[in-house]
């Protein structure tokens, strides 16, 4: 059994505790949580000593592992992070880690020769590019779509591990409709992480009403694992294909796809053919008025936004409710701009 592995479990457990600012953590509290984690992950029943946890805190505070954790003691009793958003998982990559990453990329490039690993092309390119930037070996020769101001990405790995473990969560969520500017807490059972337009979402079921919710990671203020809360599975839902009939992430279990028929002008049609609006897209007819397409999707906000993005180059023919909605929104836009008059 690796001592480094055991130490890492201790560091990660202490880190999770200190990220929870809703509770005050004494040394005894940290010892208890670390003991629980060692039993859960490694079956260790002997517990942990006070001296070991004190030593772990010193290591985390130091530069030995590159953490430099801002751990302070309040009222000579309670441990906390002085920086509220700090986590050891946000620490910069060390030179040793960079060497390991080189080895991993080398192996991945060899595996990518097999069809099974075709999807790794972008991952490998991203890793190589980031590694080169870290080593200052070369300038940035490729730019991926990124939003450096986007929040919540630091939660990805931890949430992924929690989903794998099927662990219930206490989530503090601040929706855009919340007028109090105070996060609302609730118990959720997480099932899936979904990316849409470089923004990440968590698909989960709420304990209070058993309804599926799609929570934006950048609106999650904090979340904590609930060891004593039983996990409620959702085996009746095929999450692998849950979003197959939707553009974006807005969907409920009751939503069903509709056939959307639309015409695109000659000018824009080649673009829509080479970059389909949805995977179900089909070309029905091509004539002098443009190209007729169909897609089978759920009617949601993202669909309307996508259509509006094409402006005058697209015309919705069916269904009627979608056609009316687009017409109404375009008329409202005209009202906004008509007040400026003609110049």
The domain that holds 269 is classified in CATH as: 3.30.70
| Average pLDDT of the segment spanning 100-115 | 62
Residue 192 lies in a domain: yes
The pLDDT of residue 155 is: 83
Residue with tokens 């790995």: 157
| Average pLDDT of the segment spanning 324-335 | 94
Q: Are residues 117 and 62 in the same domain?
A: no
pLDDT digits (tens, 9 = 90+) for 78-94: 999 998 888 888 765 55
- Biggest CA–CA distance in the chain, Å, is 81
Q: Are residues 161 and 237 in the same domain?
A: yes
Q: Are residues 35 and 71 in the same domain?
A: yes
Looking at the predicted structure, is the pLDDT value of residue 3 above 50?
A: no
Residue 253 lies in a domain: no
Q: Are residues 283 and 320 in the same domain?
A: yes
**Which of 117-126, 217-226, 281-290 has the lowest average pLDDT?**
117-126
Per-residue confidence band for 2, with pLDDT thresholds at 50, 70 and 90? very low
The pLDDT of residue 1 is: 38
Phi, psi of 244 (to 5 degrees): -60, -35
pLDDT digits (tens, 9 = 90+) for 157-177: 889 889 999 999 999 998 887
Tally of structural domains, the chain:
4
Higher pLDDT, 151 or 323: 323
The pLDDT of residue 125 is: 66
Range of the domain at 235: 153-241
Reported as half-sphere exposure (CB side, CA atoms, 13 A), residue 261 has a value of 7
Looking at the predicted structure, is the pLDDT value of residue 70 above 80?
A: yes
| Average pLDDT of the segment spanning 225-246 | 91
The first and second tokens of residue 232, run together, are 């409620």
The pLDDT of residue 157 is: 82
Percent of the chain past pLDDT 90, that is, above it, reads 53
Residue 176 lies in a domain: yes
The first and second tokens of residue 116, run together, are 């099974």
**d(C-alpha 187, C-alpha 171), whole Å:** 6
| Average pLDDT of the segment spanning 264-272 | 95
CATH number of the domain within which 45 lies: 1.10.10.10
Per-residue confidence band for 122, with pLDDT thresholds at 50, 70 and 90? low
**d(C-alpha 21, C-alpha 74), whole Å:** 13
């Amino acid at each position: 059994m690796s001592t480094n592995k055991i130490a890492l479990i201790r560091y990660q457990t202490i880190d999770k505790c200190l990220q929870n600012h809703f509770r005050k953590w004494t040394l005894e509290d940290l010892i208890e949580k670390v003991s629980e984690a060692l039993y859960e992950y490694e079956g260790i029943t002997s517990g942990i000593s006070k001296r070991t946890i004190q030593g772990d805190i010193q290591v985390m505070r130091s530069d030995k592992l590159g953490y430099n954790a801002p751990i302070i003691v309040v009222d000579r009793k309670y441990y906390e992070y002085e920086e509220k958003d700090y986590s050891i998982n946000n620490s910069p990559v060390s030179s040793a880690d960079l060497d390991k990453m080189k080895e991993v990329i080398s192996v991945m490039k060899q595996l990518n020769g097999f069809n099974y690993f075709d999807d790794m092309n972008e991952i490998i390119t991203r890793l190589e590019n980031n590694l080169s930037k870290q080593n200052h070996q070369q300038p940035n020769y490729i730019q991926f779509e990124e939003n450096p101001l986007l929040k919540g990405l630091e939660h990805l790995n931890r949430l992924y591990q929690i989903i794998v473990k099927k662990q219930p969560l206490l989530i503090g969520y601040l929706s855009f409709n919340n007028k109090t500017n105070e996060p609302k807490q609730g118990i959720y059972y997480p099932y899936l992480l979904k990316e849409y337009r470089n923004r990440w979402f968590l698909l989960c079921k709420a304990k209070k009403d058993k309804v599926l919710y799609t929570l934006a990671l950048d609106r999650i203020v904090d979340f904590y694992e609930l060891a004593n809360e039983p996990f409620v599975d959702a085996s009746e839902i095929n999450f692998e294909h849950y979003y197959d009939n939707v553009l974006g992430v807005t969907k409920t279990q009751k939503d069903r796809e509709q056939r959307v028929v639309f015409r695109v002008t000659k000018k824009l049609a080649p673009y829509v053919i080479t970059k389909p609006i949805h995977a179900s897209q089909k070309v029905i007819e091509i004539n002098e008025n443009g190209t007729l397409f169909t897609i089978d999707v759920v009617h949601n906000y993202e669909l309307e936004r996508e259509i509006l993005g094409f402006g005058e180059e697209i015309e919705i023919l069916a269904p009627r409710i979608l056609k009316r909605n687009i017409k109404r929104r375009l008329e409202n836009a005209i009202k906004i701009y008509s007040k400026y008059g003609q110049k």
